[in-house]
Amino acid sequence: MNFAGEHIISIEQFERSDIERIFEVADSMVPFALRARATRVLEGAILGNMFFEPSTRTRVSFGAAFNLLGGSVRETTGFKTSAIAKGESLYDSARVLSGYSDVICMRHPKEGSVAEFAKASRVPVLNGGDGANEHPSQALLDLYTIKNELASSGKRLDGLRIAMIGDLKFGRTVHSLSKLLCLFNNVHISLVSPQELAMPQLYVDQLRSSGHTVTCSSDLTSSIGNVDIVYSTRVQEERFSSPEEADLYRGRFRLNQSIYTKYCEPNTVIMHPLPRDSRADANELDSDLNQNPNLAIFRQADNGVLIRMALFAMVLDVVGKVEKYSHEVTWYSGRTR
Ligand code: CP
């Protein structure tokens, strides 16, 4: 795929070679993410960051990634502060906002809304999550994290063993990650959820058609014993008709250090797209895992900057120019990976 000028809406746009190229470009962004070097390759460019659902990681890391490439960020957060609250259509919003921006990132509660917006946009649009549908940049950073975490034990993405746990029905990150895994070989996927929150059959069928092994269960401890990655997710209460309905499922699959020690292989990597729900009635990843070296959740969040820098550099076609417009930083940064 030629990324220049393209929208990034769905994992379905990519082939395996595209993913490998994104990861290669993400690796080249490390000195800039660590603030060892600064670049102004996107000086003069404006990112329109439009988030109509709550977000910490996606919104801030898209913004930070753009700033680290030298560009400026303008944000709209929530419907109330946007003219959409006055009845403006996605078409009109896209026509207008793409006149003010060189690239747009958008999160919206409705499935398909970002694709609809992109059709009317005059600049590339990156999907920051559309309802329960997809979250492609999250899946890319998740897979990049898996690749890096497994590298030290000599394992590769082909042959990966992964357990996806929690709300697999509404969790858009596991939908995009499942699609992404279809590009690799011989993956073993253990799906762990309440029956009512099972992974939609479409994604299971895609995984099986790709030659992968998929098992479904509603029992945590018997599903996490033979995997490289435990990928936990939050009950997506914003997709339920009421918080009380979400309460029925909250806290069903809690991983803590003693369960990890008893049931997981010693080097199993623990991931979560975050936010983890740390309220007492949920607590899907206990804080007693915080000192576990295999808890990769914050390395995973950090990788979001690298992947999003790579996407901006590729979509705005500056990959080969980042270094040319760079210099050492003059201020102290004790940042390490
Ligand atoms: N993982 C993720 O999408 O986090 P935010 O909702 O904070 O953006």
Ligand 1: residue of 49, 50, 58, 175 to mutate (most ligand atoms within 8 A of CB) is 58
Compute φ and ψ for 240, nearest 5 degrees.
Answer: -90, 160
In the numeric block, which tokens belong to residue 22? 């994104």
What pTM does this model have? 0.96
The answer to whether the beta carbons of residues 253 and 232 sit under 8 Å apart is: yes
Does the beta carbon of 107 lie inside 6 Å of ligand 1? no
Bridge partners of residue 190, in order along the sequence: 163, 215
pLDDT at position 192: 98
Contacts of 164 (CB under 8 A, 6+ apart): 174, 177, 178, 189, 190, 191, 192, 199, 231, 233
pLDDT in 10s for each residue of the chain, 337 residues? 999 999 999 999 999 999 999 999 999 999 999 999 999 999 999 999 999 999 999 999 999 999 999 999 999 999 988 888 899 999 999 999 999 999 999 999 999 999 999 999 999 999 999 999 999 999 999 999 999 999 989 999 999 999 999 999 999 999 999 999 999 999 999 999 999 999 999 999 999 999 999 999 999 999 999 999 999 999 999 999 898 999 899 999 999 999 999 999 999 999 999 999 999 999 999 999 999 999 999 999 999 999 999 999 999 999 999 999 999 998 887 777 7
| Predicted local distance difference test score (pLDDT) of residue 332 | 81
Bond from prior residue into 243 cis (ω within 30 degrees of 0): no
pLDDT at 326: 97
Active site residue 110: no
135 is catalytic: yes
Going along the chain from its start, the domains and CATH numbers come out as: 11-134+301-328 (3.40.50.1370), 136-297 (3.40.50.1370)
Out of 274, 277, 299, 303, give the residue to mutate to test ligand 1, the one with the largest number of ligand atoms within 8 Å of its CB.
274
Identify whether 57 is a catalytic site residue: yes
